[in-house]
Amino acid sequence: MGGLFFALILSAAGRTPAAPPAQKFSEILFASYNLENYTLVASDRARVKAIPSRDAVADVSSEVHPDILGVCEVGSREALADLQERLRQRGVDLPYAEFVNGPDPDRHLALLSRFETVRRDSRSEVPFELNGLPEWVRRGFLDVTLQINPRYELRLVGVHLKSKLPSPAGEALLRRSEAQLLRRHIDGILQENPRVNLLVYGDFNETKEEPGIREVLGPRGGLNSLSDLLAEDSNGDRWTHFRSFSDVYSRIDFLLVNQALRPELVPGRARISQNPQWRRASDHRMLYFSLIPQDR
């Protein structure tokens, strides 16, 4: 009755009650990690990842203690379950799992989370044509929406674009085509809901000045453009990958967000893991950042 009386007074005065401020929720930590062939069964194309390396992956991951962990280069669902259990033994319980069974038989996209998936839009087969021949995005696209709390959803798109290893079709052309298809997928998401909280992450196998990254980011200042979270370690270094074949350190792993998600990022919390076991675990370093969901 008191609230109704207060509203009537404001109405009589020509004013309407102010909307309640946006409610903030607990901080959420997301991590992205290329695991370098987390494989339990050997094939002609991949070796079994040794137990010390798998333990190192779990140690690096548990140090960060993510609420959501997006990964590349998982060999199988069984390998993902192996990682999930190693994390659980280290106090990181991520009970919900997603797996994309793309055309690459040895390296898959996956996600572990403590939040339930409420929508699945992943694409295991994304066909295209190159030089008159049929091709497919090698790892597909992981695309899921997580229910963070009753009033907040987070949409995540995980990718692993074509590697720099030589391909008869041309590895750079394949990667550029995959990037164009990813941009088309992102545009579809943002056209459906411009206010969606969108994170695009993973191993893009290109540095920021190359065509594929520019393609995915979209036109600068455009409504559908993405922003690059400039993750760095405590030394200010941003490299995420060491290629032993050519002795090159580079940044080819990215965290990209749309305009709607940017206000919810925690300043200074886009980081790169410096765990001393990083090289035993993978040829990539883990990226992570924090956000605080807002009830809009």
Pairing of strands 248-250, 152-160: unpaired
Structure pTM? 0.91
Taken in order of first residue, the domains within the chain and their CATH numbers are 21-295 (3.60.10.10)
Q: Apex CA 240: angle with CA 102 and CA 70, to 5°? A: 40
The answer to whether 197 and 155 are in contact (CB under 8 A) is: yes
pLDDT in tens, the chain (296 residues): 444 433 333 334 444 444 444 555 699 999 999 999 999 998 888 899 999 999 999 999 999 999 999 999 999 999 999 999 999 999 999 999 999 999 999 999 999 999 999 999 999 999 999 988 999 999 999 999 999 999 999 999 999 999 988 787 788 999 999 999 999 999 999 999 999 999 999 999 999 999 999 999 999 888 899 999 999 999 999 999 999 888 999 999 999 999 999 999 999 999 999 999 999 999 999 999 999 998 76
Beta strands in the chain (DSSP E): 23-24, 28-38, 68-74, 96-100, 108-113, 117-120, 127-130, 133-136, 142-149, 152-160, 198-203, 227-228, 241-243, 248-250, 253-257, 271-272, 287-291, 294-295
Please report, as a single letter, which amino acid is at residue 235. Answer: N
- Please tell me the predicted confidence (pLDDT) of residue 117: 98
DSSP H helices in 113-263? 171-192, 211-217
Question: Distance between CA 35 and CA 74 in Å, rounded?
Answer: 7
Residue 117 in tokens? 């998936």
- Please tell me the predicted confidence (pLDDT) of residue 19: 46
Residue 33 in tokens? 């990690």
- Please tell me the predicted confidence (pLDDT) of residue 245: 86
- Please tell me the predicted confidence (pLDDT) of residue 23: 52
